[in-house]
Structures are given as C-alpha cells and as structure tokens.
C-alpha cells in the first residue's frame, strides 16, 4: 500500500512519471552539465515539497518519478523544473549559448503519466457499488 501524506484538510498520494527532452534532442546532458542538472532538479523539488522517487538523466532527456502535493499541478511542476534548470544551466555553461541561441534549452512539450497502486478496475468497481438500483452512471443522491 502506498504511503499517504497528510496536509491541512487533505490526505493524498499523487505520483507522476514525467519525461522531457532537450531542444532538438541534442545530447548535451553529460558530465558536469548532467550533474548540475540533477542538482538543480533536486533543489527545485525540495523547495516545492516534491519528493523524487526515482530519476534518470540521459544524454538528451530526463525521466523523473515524483510524489507531489495537491496544491501543485503537473504543468506547474514541469514549468518550475524546466524553467529554473534552463536558465541556470545556460548561465553557468556559456558554451550552451552557441547551441541554444534562442534561450530555449528544453523542447516545448513533455510526457506525463499518473501512477497509482490502485488499479482502474478497483476504482471502477468501487464507483459501481455506489450506484443505486436505477443503474445511473453519474447520479446525485
């Protein structure tokens, strides 16, 4: 069973697998750049109450599995992670400016998949059991 976190008026366990790529899939996340990128992602997560369950930095993309508080949306999380890391990596590694002259280090999009230890089947069964005899799929009682 998953470990649930508690905050004011909410008990939650939100997990997401997020993947994002460097612009043009350039293989620049190696050596010192990859180490600094990992450090920046960790700092941003700690600052925002996000826990990194697992992560992996490849030469041209980042995989990260996180648990996060309900006050943040996944799009906000990605914006914080990509925005801060892009700005600082380009400041600290001037050679990036030649390759990323438009100041866009990361590609525009990202992939996200929500993760849960409770299957869709279990949730569907629970909701079905809550329906009355009329078999209404979305009823207010």
Residue 50: inside a domain, yes or no? yes
Residue 129: inside a domain, yes or no? no
Residues 6+ apart with CB under 8 A from 112: 16, 17, 18, 19, 74, 78
- Residues 58-90 have pLDDT tens digits of 999 999 999 999 999 999 999 999 999 999 999
Residue 131: inside a domain, yes or no? no
The CATH number linked to 51 is 3.30.70.1290
Residue 22: inside a domain, yes or no? yes
Average pLDDT of span 134-138: 54
- Residues 84-119 have pLDDT tens digits of 999 999 999 988 878 887 778 999 999 998 987 667
Residue 132: inside a domain, yes or no? no
20 near 107, Cβ under 8 Å? Answer: yes
Q: Is 104 helix (H, G, I), strand (E, B) or coil?
A: coil
End-to-end Cα distance, the chain: 30
Prediction pTM value = 0.81
Please give the residue that has the higher pLDDT: either 77 or 120. Answer: 77
Residue 123: inside a domain, yes or no? no
Domain count for the chain, please give it. Answer: 1
Residue 122: inside a domain, yes or no? no
pLDDT of residue 61: 93
Q: Residue 23's pLDDT band (boundaries 50, 70, 90)? A: very high
pLDDT of 54 > 50? The answer is: yes
> Can you give the residue range of the structural domain that contains 108?
5-116
Residue 135: inside a domain, yes or no? no
């Amino acid at each position: 069973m998953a470990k649930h976190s508690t905050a004011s008026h909410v008990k939650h366990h939100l997990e997401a697998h997020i993947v994002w790529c460097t612009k043009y899939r350039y293989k620049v996340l190696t050596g010192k750049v990859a180490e600094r990128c990992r450090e920046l992602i960790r700092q941003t997560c700690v600052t925002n109450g996000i826990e990194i369950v697992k992560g992996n930095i490849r030469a041209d993309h980042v995989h990260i599995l996180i648990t996060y508080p309900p006050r943040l949306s996944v799009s906000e999380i990605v914006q914080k992670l990509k925005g801060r890391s892009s700005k600082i990596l380009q400041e600290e590694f001037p050679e990036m400016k030649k390759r990323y002259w438009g100041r866009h280090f990361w590609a525009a999009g990202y992939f996200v998949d929500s993760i849960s230890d409770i299957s869709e089947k279990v949730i569907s069964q629970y909701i079905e059991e809550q329906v009355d005899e009329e078999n209404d799929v979305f009823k207010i009682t």
